[in-house]
């Protein structure tokens, strides 16, 4: 807790809070005319700095404790995004949005909830995919969105499994059901979801994961071998449809948002135009 407080205090000082101690030092130095004013002003700002750092550290400690408890005892659940609302607030130039969620998982009674999250560039594709992963306390229904696991089920992060026995790498990116099953296996065996996961030292877990991967691969249609005709002999392949606006695929919401961010970053549109267009894109969801 002490180290967390020190870190928070340094960040407060870095983002402008250093003015308080400076004013306090000037006041204590007894500089004529402004000394008394600077003394009280510096004292007030310094007290505010300390209070902000203490509150920030306590909130961070509580959040960290909640995350550890949910990782140890919580239930992995799917959180379906059924609504996205702009709050009009930005934190570090990132919009804060309110998500309406439908949460369901093994042993849980499905429930609805709301959560306010920062819609950063890395999170927006997950949010617009409308499928997130949450850790839920089965007793109180308190929950936290797990962005690492959400990146896997939404397809933002590739989920590839290399099996030396098969001499093959399987790609399960974005396959919600199998990935949730694998994540339940890993969580039940205390395997953390951080970066590349190596389960070769745990043969039981590895076998369970391999079974899921192979079963999923077996359910997928096999690609035609090279040189094998896609249509039976004697049947003419219909010509491709001519390109047109009707057949042109619409860009996804995440692509439209990323293009909008690029336009603003390059100065092609103003902040007002950016805000109006972004609100329009989210309203179309």
Checking DSSP bridges between strand 131-136 and strand 143-145, what pairing results, if any?
A: antiparallel
| Interatomic CA distance for residues 285 and 10, integer angstroms | 41
Of the listed ranges 37-46, 108-117, 152-161, 227-236, the least confidently predicted one is: 227-236
Q: What is the DSSP letter of 195?
A: S
46-57 residues labelled b (16+ CB within 10 A) or e (exposed): beebeebbeebb
Using DSSP, state whether 10 is helix, strand or coil. Answer: helix
- 280 Cβ partners below 8 Å, 6+ apart? none
227: confidence class by pLDDT, cuts 50, 70, 90 = low
Identify the burial level of 183 via C-beta atoms within 10 angstroms of its C-beta, where 0-12 means exposed, 13-18 middle and 19 or more buried: buried
- 130 Cβ partners below 8 Å, 6+ apart? 80, 81, 82
- 243 Cβ partners below 8 Å, 6+ apart? none
Which residue spans within 105-220 are E strands per DSSP? 111-118, 131-136, 143-145, 160-163, 168-171
Sign of CA dihedral 251, 253, 258, 262: positive
Q: Indicate yes or no: pTM above 0.85.
A: no
pLDDT in tens, 77-123: 999 999 999 888 887 788 899 999 999 999 899 999 999 998 888 88
| Interatomic CA distance for residues 18 and 46, integer angstroms | 8
| Interatomic CA distance for residues 19 and 41, integer angstroms | 10
pLDDT of residue 136: 94
pLDDT in tens, 114-129: 999 988 888 889 999 9
């Amino acid at each position: 807790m002490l180290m967390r407080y020190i870190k928070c205090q340094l960040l407060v000082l870095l983002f402008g809070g250093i003015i308080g101690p400076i004013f306090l030092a000037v006041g204590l130095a007894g500089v004529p005319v402004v000394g008394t004013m600077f003394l009280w002003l510096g004292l007030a700002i310094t007290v505010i700095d300390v209070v902000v750092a203490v509150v920030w550290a306590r909130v961070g400690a509580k959040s960290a404790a909640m995350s550890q408890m949910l990782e140890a005892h919580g239930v992995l659940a799917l959180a379906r995004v059924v609504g996205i609302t702009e709050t009009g607030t930005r934190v570090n130039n990132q919009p804060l949005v309110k998500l309406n969620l439908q949460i369901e998982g093994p042993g849980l009674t499905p429930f609805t909830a709301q959560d306010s999250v920062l819609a950063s560039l890395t999170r927006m594709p997950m949010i617009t995919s409308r499928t997130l992963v949450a850790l839920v306390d089965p007793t109180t229904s308190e929950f936290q969105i797990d962005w690492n696991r959400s990146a896997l089920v939404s397809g933002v992060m590739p989920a590839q499994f290399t099996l030396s026995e098969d001499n093959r790498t399987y790609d399960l990116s974005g396959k919600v059901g199998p990935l949730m099953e694998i994540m339940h296996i890993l969580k039940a065996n205390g395997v953390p979801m951080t970066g590349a996961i190596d389960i070769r030292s745990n043969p039981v877990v590895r076998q369970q994961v391999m079974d899921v991967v192979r079963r999923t691969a077996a359910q997928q249609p096999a690609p035609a071998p090279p040189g094998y005709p896609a249509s039976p002999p004697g049947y003419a392949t219909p010509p491709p449809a001519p390109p047109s606006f009707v057949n042109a695929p619409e860009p996804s919401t995440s692509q439209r948002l990323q293009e909008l961010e690029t336009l603003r970053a390059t100065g092609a549109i103003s902040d007002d135009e950016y805000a109006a267009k972004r609100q329009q894109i989210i309203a179309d969801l």
